[in-house]
Copies of this chain bind each other. A is one copy, B any other.
């Protein structure tokens, strides 16, 4: 049985949606044990709303780290924070993975303090599966490392490739380097110096990928520094929402449009869902010596459920072992 420690207190909609997500996951994946970490009174109050639910033990944590707190400081000062307790469960062998929708930096700090880095990996990275019109693409780093060296991008590429292979079950994943031109001499100092490292890495490197190519599905894994990755990810979310708003506004003008939009409403809502972050699920923190998934701060139950499923798949797929092995051979 795979045991997932869920930070029940993390995220904008915690604990209501985190607990609901755990309940949904326990119904859908009955062979998982989901450990709810946080304030027992609040968690149980939520749990009592549901009848049919699987094994959902509660582990008490008297503190929680807020979104705005300084990650490393908060993790050190709040010893009994839900995220510290969740990390301890993995450290002590009582859980196999951690899922949290809370403060990203705190999750990274707490798990690095307790579990450490995988040997050979200089900096862990956050990878996000980005929804495409056809399928998905794994982007990393999404913000853990704002200033990177070529060596870091090389390791991100290797870890992303291994995650795509072992957890997403993509055969020989195509790995690209995000850049402003296709040719190897294009880009900034970082991408120009990273190119030859990626070319010689044990991955299926397909070269530079321009930002306009991301959505076309030409790569399975795309590597960039965390500053760029975070900008692109947040921009994409806002642009999709903005386009939907333009549509809604423009299409509500005039009688004929109103008739038309009435007919199209169900489809428009389906599209909106397609563009929303609800289906993102979680983002693995690759390079941490343990399975750690970050769910979106705005995650609701469905996204929490997906992140729980993905973390279980990372345990089954032996993600940490695969990356450790790659580190050993360097």
Contacts and interface: CB of A to CB of B under 8 A. Distances in A.
A232 B212 CA distance: 9
Contacts of A271: 246-247, 250
Contact of A267 (B188, B215, B250, B262): B250
B211 A133 contact: no
A106 to B, nearest CB: 15
B260 A147 contact: no
A230 interface: yes
6 smallest beta-carbon distances between A and B, as pairs: A260-B263, A211-B235, A212-B238, A146-B188, A260-B264, A212-B234
B238 A235 contact: no
Interface string A310-328: 0000000000000000000
A245 interface: yes
Given A133-B246, A239-B239, A257-B263, 12 more contacts: A180-B227, A180-B230, A180-B234, A188-B225, A188-B227, A212-B237, A215-B242, A216-B238, A227-B228, A228-B231, A250-B267, A260-B261
B245 A256 contact: no
A296 to B, nearest CB: 13
Given A187-B227, A231-B211, A239 B240 contact: yes
A267 B261 CA distance: 11
6 contacts: A180-B227, A180-B231, A210-B234, A211-B231, A257-B267, A260-B260
A165 to B, nearest CB: 26
Interface residues of A, number: 54
A274 interface: yes
The copy count of this chain in the complex is: 2
Contacts of A237: 212
Dominant SS at the A interface? Answer: helix
A178 interface: yes
A115 interface: no
A261 B265 CA distance: 11
Nearest to A262: B260
Nearest to A265: B260
A216 B256 CA distance: 29
Contacts of A256: 263
Contacts of A236: 235, 239
Contacts of A240: 239, 243
Contacts of A230: 180, 211
Interface in A86-102: none
Contacts of A259: 260, 263
Contacts of A231: 178, 180, 211, 228, 231-232
Given A227-B180, A239-B236, A264 B257 contact: yes
